[in-house]
Every structure is written in C-alpha cells, then in structure tokens.
A = this chain, B = another copy of it.
Amino acid sequence: MKRFESNVQANQERFLGELQEFCRKPSIIAQGIGIEETAEWVCDRLRRAGFESKVVAVEGGAPVVYGEIGSGDKTLMMYNHYDVQPPEPLELWDSGPFEAKIRAGRVWARGVSDNKGPLMARVQAIEAYQQAVGELPIRIKWVIEGEEEIGSPNLGRFVDENRELLEGADACLWEGGGRDGAGRPVISLGMKGIAYLGLSVSGAGSDLHSMNGAIVGNPAWRLIWALASLKDENENISVDGLMDYVAEPTEEEWAFIRRIPFDEEESKRDFGITSFLKGATGTDVVKQLLYDPTCTVCGILTGYTGPGPKTVLPNEASAKVDFRLVPDLNPELVLRLVREHLDRRGFTDVNVELLAQLWPYRSPVEHPWVDASIAVARDVFGAEPVVYPSSAGGGPMYQLCGTFGIPGIAGGGAGNPNGNLHAPNENIYVEDYMRTIRYTGRLIDALGSL
C-alpha cells in the first residue's frame, strides 16, 4: 500500500481541484435544482474511474447513480448521496456556498462534508488504488442516491426494483463518520428510525369567545390529554405495547457503549442543562441516547400565541411528535400503535398522520468486516476509533442493509466537529479529506486480505 499512499499524496492538488468542481455544481433536492445534471456528472466520473455505471431513473423521484467495479467473491456495498441541503441563509456564509473556496486548510462549500467530499474521495481512492496497486481485490456495488436530504422517500422503491443488482454484498460502507474533537475517528454500526407524526383536533365551527368554555369543547384540551397519554411524567413512553418491541442492549453491545468516551459535565454545559433525562449519569446517558426510543413533541400550535391575554376558545389544535425508533419498531407499527392507543382511550377525534418515516437498523457489532473497518480507521487516523453500536440519528440504512441483512458501517467520512452540516459555512479539512481517500483504499485492501 506504500505505492497507493504516495499516489494519493502526489495527486492531492488534482483531487482537491476535482472536489471543488463537484461542489460547484448545486444539487439541491428540496429546491429541485441541478439533480439530473449532477447525477449524470457523477455517473460519468465513476465510469472514468473504471466503474460500470449507470443513472437509474426512479419513478417520481431523483435518479440513483449505480456503479460496479472489481471482482472476487467478496463484495462491499457503498452508500452515498449526491444531493445537498439548501444553502440558505446565504448572508451567513463567509464565501459563496457553491464557490468551494479553500481557506485556512479547509474546503468551504454546501455539501462538501455531507456528502460530496466523502463521495469524491471514494472515487479518487478507487482510481488511485488501480493505478498504484492494480485491480480491486473485491467487488464494489455503489448506490448513490439524490434524495437523502429529504428523507430518502424513494430509496426503498429503488431497492425493490433492483434487487438482483444489489444482492450478494457482505457489508455496506455507509456515508457519514469523520473525527471528533480529540481526533478520534467515529464509526456507527446502525441508525435509529423515525415515525414523525402530525396530530390534529378540530372543535367548533370557528374560534369562539372563551366564556363559552363552559359549554363548548376545546380541541386544545383534547390534544393535551391525548398527548399526555403517550408519555408519562417519568419520561416513559406509555403508548400501549410500544415498549414490548424494544430490546435492551446485549452484553456485547454494552461493551461497545462502555468504550464510548463521554464527558458528562462538558455535555451538560454544551446542552445548557443541569441533569440528563431520567436522572441518568455516565454510561447510562450514552445507552439512552443510542438505545432508547424517543417520543418528542417538536411543536404545538393552537389559539392565540401573541403577547398578553386574548380570551379565545380555539377551534383547531395541532402537534408534531417525533418518535425515534430502535429495533424492532418501525414507522407503520408506531402509527398503528398510537392510533389504537388513542382510540382505546376515546380519542377518536384526534387525527394522526405520518409526516416522515425511516426504519431503524442495527448492524451486528461482531463481524470481520466491522473489525477491519475499525482497524483501518485506527491506523489511518492514528487514534483509537469511537464506535457507536448504533447512531442516535436516523438515516435510510434499513432500506439497503436491512433488506439484505448485512452490516452497515458508517465511517471513514471527512467530517469534523465544527463542520456545520446543514448550516452556513459547511466545511472539511483538507487533511481529513485526504484521510478519507486513504481510509477507503486501505479498507478495500484489508477486506481483500480477509
């Protein structure tokens, strides 16, 4: 791998120039900007790196770029996305979000960390590997979607329609990861799911004077009582039957949890809180974050919310509730459990709809490909990796990894703790970018030797 390392080193300037070129192509899925063109560009770039690649149309959605390369009896699936978040508010950027300037050792651009940097680094790594070492020792099946930033609504359909193409992988190298503030590489082996519900209740024909509160029903009260039945004052989710689907971590998983560095006081300071939920301390905080499902009220709106008093009896009330899901929960199940729970308590007047959804997925934590991804990260970053047996966040890992029952390894990304993902001044360090290229090439090599 020495020749690989020198090749990468020698090409740094070209690699960065190409990353800038990629970042200068806006591909904002939420605004429908540049999607098809960017997909074609990415497909072409894969082809130039030796991939057999194609742009796969998905009915009603953004196209998926699919590429294959390499040979052998081992197959690594890879997942990335070419779409980015909207760049607004523009005035908060120090340089244009699609200028992709290099400044103070970092590349600044919308999507450079999430996810164009890691994507391009993987192309360049594979290209460099072939130039420096030769043919890839494993097969690669690469799925690059264009709707990640709006919740991957059509990835499941793509998988269903292209099952034969995708089958047979041993593991999936997911997007994401990077390093923490102490320089430790971060790897996640699973993701929570989401059931994001909208609840609403209607009352009288119009808002009324609040003096009528003695004789006319109030949708705000109906909503409050319905919500209060979903989670109790001890912070336990009380939706009938929901917790039956939730397993505690295994001993194996506890071992991973205990190894995650966690500075309790610093974390409290960062959040601006004096204690964690349920009075948790130490490792239990980490366990809750990664292994507990959540039921979070994200918003409520009803009646008058301006300054001072207004004596109104509202006729509409609505709330948004985000359930973060762990196995064996899933969005449709949660919707059904909540509906039945409310009906059982007479809340048939409370309308419930699913506004966003993701299935949870958790990888096996003891697996030779997981071990290899950790070992390579240790080597490339020169620090002990922080391995999350599951991420607190969500992503469409289930659609790819769950469908085929393979580990999902989110690691080797170029992120840094001040990378401003989804925010103005998104950035990656040049150094982290080069590490991502090296990580990818070395992981491929290591997997070939397993």
The chain A residues found within 8 Å of chain B, CB to CB, are 151, 192, 194, 196, 198, 203-206, 208-218, 220-221, 224-225, 227-228, 231, 233, 235, 271-273, 276-277, 280, 285, 288-289, 292-305, 308-315, 317-318, 320, 322, 324, 345-346, 355-356, 392-394
Contact = CB atoms under 8 A, between A and B. Distances in A.
B297 A221 contact: yes
A272 B204 contact: yes
A420 to B, nearest CB: 13
A220 B211 CA distance: 26
Given A308-B355, A309-B356, A356-B309, A294 B214 contact: yes
A100 to B, nearest CB: 26
A303 to B, nearest CB: 3
A305 B316 CA distance: 13
A375 B392 CA distance: 74
A220 B298 CA distance: 8
A309 B320 contact: yes
A299 B304 contact: yes
Contacts of A277: 214-217
Contacts of A302: 297, 299-300
B296 A218 contact: yes
Residue in A209, A301, A355 whose Cβ sees the most chain B Cβ within 10 Å: A301
A346 B233 CA distance: 10
Contacts of A296: 210, 213, 218, 313
B214 A289 contact: yes
B297 A218 contact: yes
A295 to B, nearest CB: 7
A310 to B, nearest CB: 6
Given A313-B298, A317-B300, A224 B228 contact: yes
Chain B CB within 10 Å — which of A206, A296, A299, A308 has the most?
A296
Given A214-B289, A215-B285, A309-B356, A204 B299 contact: no
Given A215-B276, A224-B228, 6 more contacts: A212-B392, A217-B273, A224-B224, A298-B312, A301-B305, A309-B322
Given A301-B305, A305-B300, A308-B355, A324 B214 contact: yes
Contacts of A392: 211-212, 214
A428 to B, nearest CB: 20
Which of A214, A218, A320, A345 has the most B CB atoms < 10 Å from its CB? A214
A303 B302 CA distance: 12
18 contacts: A192-B211, A203-B273, A204-B272, A208-B271, A211-B294, A212-B271, A214-B293, A215-B277, A217-B235, A217-B277, A218-B296, A224-B228, A225-B233, A297-B302, A297-B314, A299-B303, A299-B305, A300-B305
A324 B394 contact: no
Given A314-B297, A322-B311, A205 B285 contact: no
B221 A231 contact: yes
A221 B295 CA distance: 10
Contact of A298 (B215, B314, B394): B314
B320 A216 contact: no
B304 A320 contact: yes
Given A216-B276, A303-B298, A320 B310 contact: yes
Nearest to A295: B213
A311 B298 contact: yes
Contacts of A192: 211
Contacts of A210: 294, 296, 298, 322, 324
A277 B220 CA distance: 14
A149 to B, nearest CB: 12
Contacts of A285: 215
Given A299-B305, A305-B300, A309-B355, A294 B324 contact: no
Contacts of A215: 276-277, 280, 285, 288-289
